[in-house]
Structure 1
Amino acid sequence: MSLKEEILSKTNRGLEVFCFYMPIDFVLKRNFRNPLYDDKRASCNIYYDKKGDCYRMKDFGNELYSGDCFWFVAAMLGLDIRMDFQKVLTAIIRDLNLNIPVLDKGSRYCDLYLRNRASIPHKKPEQEHPAENKKWFNLYEQPFKPDEIAYWQQYGITAKTLQRFAVKSLLRYESVSNQGKVYTLSSTEKEPVFCYMMGDFVKIYRPFSKMRFLYGGEKDEHYIFGLEQLPSKGDILFITGGEKDVLSLSAHHFNAICFNSETASIPENIIESLQLRFRHIILLYDTDETGLRETRRQAEALARYNILTLTLPLQGIKSEKDISDFFALGRTENDLKSLISEMLSGIYTQTIMMLRSCEIDYDNPPDASKSVVAVNGVPLGTQDNLFCITGGEGTGKSNYISAILSGTLGKEQIPSEQALGLEIIANPKGLAVLHYDTEQSEAQLHKNLGRTLRRASLTAVPDFYHSLYLASLSRKDRLKLIRESMDLFHHKHGGIHLVVIDGIADLIRSANDETESIAIVDELYRLAGIYNTCIICVLHFVPNGIKLRGHIGSELQRKAAGILSIEKDDYPECSVVKVIKVRDGSPLDVPMMLFGWDKEADMHVYRGEKSKEDKEKRKTGELIAVVKETFRNTSKLSYQDLCNMLMREMGIKDRTAKKYIAYMKEQRILLQDASGNYQKGELCHT
């Protein structure tokens, strides 16, 4: 038997050779990107060639990068398969520890191999170079057995979680000890062997063995398990003591990472990076002596970053000391959420005291005070986004807000007519509904709260609904209270359904201050994303056509998913609701809705939509105003420049801008000359 054939017979016809030298995980017959060059498309796979009786790699994008396992090893080591074939065979025999005599013992392939080995996982240096002190290892994977799955499931860890975090079940593990002795670990029913795959190295986990943890390969100096699986942003991130705790938390829908051990130092640059993505970072170590000691030490070392600590209500013994044990003992996801809520309540003691002084007590109305006309808005938008309500005084915005808030207090969706023409998503889970007011008096806010309850057919305020009076607080304290109370109520009620901030301009010193305007809108947008809610910002400005005034108006026009304006109609007894911005499509194509006071019902009621003629009239008028503004400092614009101008001025997308240009040509709002440039049309001169 030839040396080549002997290698194939001992490596499952070359498959184990591919597995050893391939720098990425692959699945047979499933396409992946070729690691030998900057492959842009996954058009390469490994398959069994019946004719050649061996496994081969096929690159459908570049035939030059196809071949058997010997060709692939030569390519990875930078060798010539024809000139250096003996060196390739020697490398495979030594690296895979095959029991085959090495003929070319004087080969200097090792120097080439070490220069090209950086991208190869599961690496094993030659035993002639012990000074390198780099542990080689071989893994022999197997499917998870039923009793192994049962072991993980006691902690709530599913097969899907194991797959997501690249946890493997091993049939056998081979490596070398620190003394240079080769050893083998075999999985048994009583002592299973698991493996955490970490790129260039692995961590072996044997839960029922005397030596539970072993390492193979090049362990990263800053080992962080679970970092790759974290979302881009979130509310809470736990730092735990071990990989099993990370898996258990993830299986229960929490974000978590761990370092090499509880005693490992946590790099400050990692904390700084994570703080940009998560609202809270919480140390959740074991409740034994070591865990408690390290919790205190880490908290002191990271004091400047306000890292939180949470101690589980466990005895601290071997079977009851970590978060995995917490879930194994029958505790649930909601039990952990309750502990988090209690912890935050202790942190926000001062905030809770402020909330008590600000929250409206419906059963104990405040003393009558001088009436102040309030300008309110209504929520309309999507989760993770801002929605802006704007308009002048006396347009019925308070009652409009009352109608929308009433739709969030029940478990079923109310009819759109009852919500003054809007469709409001119900709140069956009883998530928090927060209404912050910066201008109205306590008496007026109490009156509005009563109207909201009556419209919702309720006699008492639901515990998840909080109407808060902020007019007496400083601007700095208002934003602080909003930020911290959102966090508190989010954990208390299991989430936030809707937030209304009536008077966003009252959170800063000036609505025309560009720096402050950008900062407040960015902060609210961030909070909407963290708490997965819609924040409605009420801006007490009358819009100028389809544009909002002031720097804060410009920022909202850019960031908000939608903008709605409430104005008095031509008929004084009605108010008209106009959409200034929508996420998709054009605001001018959305019907205008009417509502007005009904004396018999003692509240505002829906009056239907404006006619099609009125809608077209508004559309034409708004477009004429935009064109006049666009051509104020120029007489002609190219088609692309005009598109860009409309997109910027109206906050619309490219396809909508092109649609408007065609419409304005048809209506003689725009004219196009022989060279293709555009200028103001006849209607703009009337």
Structure 2
Amino acid sequence: MPQLLENREKLRHRSTEAVRFAVPLVFQDDEPVIWPRTLNLIQGQTGSHKSRVAALFATVMIAAGIPACDAVGLARHGEEGQSYTLCYVDTERNASDDFPFAIQQMRERAGYARNEHPACFDFITLEPIPRAERLKALGQYLEYVRGKYQNHLVIVLDVLTDCISSFNDEKESLLLVDMLNRFINSRDVTFLCVIHENPGGVKARGHLGTEAQNKASTVLQVAYMKQANGEATDVIEMRYLKRRNGSPGLSFHVAYDEATKGLIRADATAVAQATASRRAKATPNELAPALATELAFGPLASGELEKRLAARLGASARTIRERIAELAATAEKLPNMAGCECVLTKAKDGKETRYSLTPVGAD
């Protein structure tokens, strides 16, 4: 009761003052995505490069300047007088080559020499610690770095579920999440946690995943874009499923670069092709000849064209409407029945919109 009453008095006093909201720590394409003193998740299926995504965020935080990171649009905010220490806690990579190489990459991409040890970068591995003892070890490490560094701490936990004996153990899951929340609320700490998804779904794994998703301010999903037949493309979609003070759905696309062993911004053409390939019906390869056939004898009203294409391709009128709107907006070149290059155009005829295949270069 004394603690509750003390907290009440603090809230009463704070509620009378002007409230200054925290400045976001990290932006994605100028949109705020990570805020200080929050819990944040990076989730995805096995093999989706979640750890490399976490490394991109880590690089932003430890960089000497205020960079854009690896050209994928991540950047740290530019408020003066702020400093951060990034503590990377790994649980599964080996200490002989995998984790040391990841540390090297983060340092070098942040502008440091390979043999340089910046004061703003700390790291450990829990891999040698038995699972039954990891929660205690993590708590001891958090206390250690909180006492060692005076500035704001950003803790990366890669992988969160490996910090306890079982991700389905309700008691341990709650103990871990409660511990993270205590550090967030009273110790000036931000957590960025990597976690696996359940196979075939978007839910983070186990009881721990459910608790973490509920408490998280930002949830970033990392997944390969798939074709209609289920096969993965080379494009990785990074979608913010949840974002504090921001609408969900913000997304961008990256690809794995073999030369640098890292992630780079995906080529716009590759993204367009991956997007088109996951459409099971009315794909570009199906739509182009269908348009040539239906518009062979001149313009058609939008409603009639949608009706005919829907019947021919076995798709809904809404799907057809979206497809032809995209083609008209992008002016993609399409062949007519004579094989001439055309673009899909639309024009008003009274209250009606009519579509045509207009030869390239024609008025």
* 1:385–1:560 contact (8 Å) kept in structure 2: yes
Tell me how far 1:385 sits from its aligned partner: 1.4
| Partner of residue 463 from structure 1, selected from 103, 112, 119 | 119
* CA displacement 1:8-41 (0-9 Å, x = unmatched): xxxxxxxxxxxxxxxxxxxxxxxxxxxxxxxxxx
Alpha-carbon shift at residue 524 of structure 1 (Å): 1.1
What SS does structure 2 have at the residue aligned with 1:423? strand
Which residue in the other structure is 1:475 paired with? Answer: 131
Give the Cα–Cα distance (whole angstroms) in 2 for the partners of residues 515 and 558 of structure 1: 16
> Conserved in 2, the CA contact under 8 Å of 1:521 and 1:556?
yes
Q: Is 2:106 the counterpart of 1:452?
A: yes
Q: Distance in 2 between matches of 1:413 and 1:483?
A: 31
* Post-superposition offset of 1:534: 1.4
Q: CA deviation at 1:430?
A: 4.6
Following the alignment from structure 2 to structure 1, what is the Cα–Cα distance between the partners of residues 214 and 10?
25
Where do residues 357-368 of structure 1 align in structure 2 (5 Å cutoff)?
none
Aligned to 1:559: 215
Structure 2 vs 1, CA of residues 421 and 516 (structure 1 numbering), >3 Å: closer, same or farther? same
Q: 1:586 to 1:393 in 2, by over 3 A?
A: same
Equivalence for 1:423: 75
Distance in 2 (CA, whole Å) between partners of 1:479 and 1:599 is 35
More strand per residue: 1 or 2? Answer: 2
Q: In 1, are the aligned partners of 2:86 and 2:121 still within 8 Å (CA)?
A: yes
Query: 1:568 touches 1:575 (CA, 8 Å); kept in 2?
Result: yes
Q: Is the 8 A contact 2:225 2:237 kept in 1?
A: yes
Cα displacement (A) at 1:408? 1.2
1:604 is aligned to 2:263: yes
Does the residue aligned with 2:75 lie in a helix, a strand or coil? coil
Q: Percent identity?
A: 24
RMSD (CA atoms): 3.4
Pairs within 5 Å for 1:157-176: none
Describe the SS at the equivalent of 1:394. coil
TM-score, normalised to structure 2, is 0.59
CA distance in 2, matches of 1:554, 1:601: 35
AA aligned opposite 1:409: I
Using the TM superposition, give the Cα deviation of residue 606 of structure 1 relative to its aligned residue in structure 2, in angstroms.
1.5
Amino acid of the structure 1 residue aligned with 2:257: D
Q: SS of 2:39's equivalent?
A: strand
Partners of 1:383 and 1:533 lie apart in 2 by: 7
- Secondary structure of the 1:574 match is strand
Look up the equivalent residue of 1:424 and give its one-letter code: R
What is the TM-score normalised by the length of structure 1?
0.32
Name the counterpart of 2:46.
393
Distance of aligned partners of 1:519 and 1:572 in 2 relative to their CA distance in 1, 3 Å threshold: same
Structure 1 Cα separation of the partners of residues 217 and 152 of structure 2: 18
Deviating beyond 6 angstroms after TM superposition, the runs of 4 or more aligned structure 1 residues are 227-230
Deviations 1:127-169 (A, max 9, x none): xxxxxxxxxxxxxxxxxxxxxxxxxxxxxxxxxxxxxxxxxxx
Three-state SS of the structure 2 residue aligned to 1:573 is strand
Q: Deviations over 1:572-592 (max 9, x none)?
A: 33321122222245423x2x2
User: In structure 1, how many angstroms separate the alpha carbons of the residues matched to 2:145 and 2:134?
Assistant: 16
SS of 2:233's equivalent in the other structure is coil
1:532 paired residue number: 188
Aligned mates of 2:98, 2:7 — CA distance in 1: 51
Taking the TM superposition and a 5 Å limit, the aligned residue runs for 1:193-208 are: none
Q: Aligned-pair distance for 1:419?
A: 5.8
| 2:40 is equivalent to residue 384 of structure 1 | no
How many residues get paired?
246
Residues 155, 190 of structure 2: 8 Å contact kept: yes
Structure 2, gaps ≥5 residues long: 1-5, 12-31, 227-231, 280-317, 320-363
* Alpha-carbon contact 1:390-1:542 (below 8 Å) kept: no
Return the alpha-carbon distance in structure 2 between the equivalents of residues 437 and 600 of structure 1. 24
Task: Say yes or no: does 1:410 pair with 2:63.
Answer: yes
Indicate the SS of the match to 1:400.
helix
Instruction: Considering Cα pairs closer than 8 Å and 6+ residues apart, tell me whether 1 or 2 has the greater RCO.
Output: 2
**Rounded Cα–Cα distance in structure 2 between residues aligned with 1:406 and 1:549:** 26
- What do residues 47-71 of structure 1 show as CA deviations (whole Å, max 9, x unaligned)? xxxxxxxxxxxxxxxxxxxxxxxxx
CA contact under 8 A between 1:390 and 1:564: conserved in structure 2? yes
Residues in 2 aligned to 1:576 and 1:594: alpha-carbon distance in whole angstroms: 5
User: Quick one: which of 574, 578, 595 aligns to 2:254?
Assistant: 595
Ranges in structure 1 where 5+ consecutive residues have no aligned partner: 1-226, 233-378, 619-666, 669-686
Sort the Cα spacing of 1:231 and 1:435 in 2 relative to 1 into closer, same or farther, 3 A. Answer: farther
**How far apart are 1:429 and its partner, in Å?**
5.1
Q: Distance in 1 between matches of 2:8 and 2:217?
A: 29
Distance 1:494 1:587 in 2: 34
**Would the alpha carbon gap of residues 539 and 419 (structure 1) be closer, same or farther in structure 2, given more than 3 Å must change?**
farther
Q: 1:440 to 1:477 in 2, by over 3 A?
A: same
Structure 1 counterpart of 2:360: none
Q: 1:526 deviation in Å? A: 1.7
Q: Note closer, same or farther for the CA distance 1:596–1:582 as it changes in structure 2 (3 Å cut).
A: same
In 2, Cα distance between the equivalents of 1:601 and 1:507? 30
Give runs of aligned pairs for residues 303-314 of structure 1, distance below 5 A. Answer: none
How many Å separate the matches in 1 of 2:159 and 2:218?
17
Q: Relative to 1, partners in 2 of residues 1:431 and 1:548: Cα closer, same or farther, differing over 3 Å?
A: closer
Q: Given that residues 546 and 580 in structure 1 are in contact (C-alpha distance below 8 angstroms), is that contact kept between their aligned partners in structure 2?
A: no
Matched, 1:493 2:145: no
- Alpha-carbon separation, structure 2, partners of 1:508 and 1:488: 19
CA distance in 2, matches of 1:428, 1:410: 15
- State the distance in 1 between where 2:138 and 2:195 align: 17
Matches within 5 A, 1:52-91: none
Contact 1:577 1:594 in 2 (8 A): yes
